[in-house]
Structure 1
């Protein structure tokens, strides 16, 4: 019996290890909806943020069944917002109206301002809390939080 189960276990582990990783490419909104089914009519289970990785579980058509490692949730995402690119953590400040975006000590508009980042400044995504992104500012080396609405992808 053990001789039969050991190869089966190895195959299951090996199949899991071969899961394809893709990355959310949604620089406009800053996130992609993870849905409970393959279509926009299905409920939203979670928001997956621009640059975050997902494990592809199945590709039956334009909608892929994926697992989001940050939340552990599985669901469906449209393939046009998923890419193999790994450089999506590089972003830019997109604040043409004000010309700047505040880098803050915490993920809220009430947190202390560390510095102003100017329209077009390069930043790297380090983490996130909801729609707030923890960033590394390339020009100054500062780290802090900024709202994802004012960031765009490469």
Structure 2
């Protein structure tokens, strides 16, 4: 009976430590983080993960984490360049007094197509965050991505 309980405790600890954690690539200077075949700088690069893209951790080995990138690619990345998501209030307001609007886009970046203009003072519901971009539901019914700098409580 004692062995069975010990086995259950060890299994529970392993299950908790193996739980995936959502992180975001935080590499604004060069704009990417290398995803590698192993936990170290000497391993081959699988792909460059863009700044602000998301990963789920699968395993930790010192300063390295085995992750699954939002694209589905799996490999190792340095933990120094990944951050936890910052909590964002559910409802925010467009704050763009200069030109009076904020573009709602099809993806998290200024290179994505503009869906519509969201005017100063209108509200959005936050659905997801990737770096400095948030996926939102706009009060007029459109859904897309907006730069968080122009949203306020």
TM-score (norm 2): 0.48
Higher relative contact order (CA 8 A, sep 6+): 1
TM-score (norm 1): 0.48
Larger radius of gyration between Structure 1 and Structure 2: 2
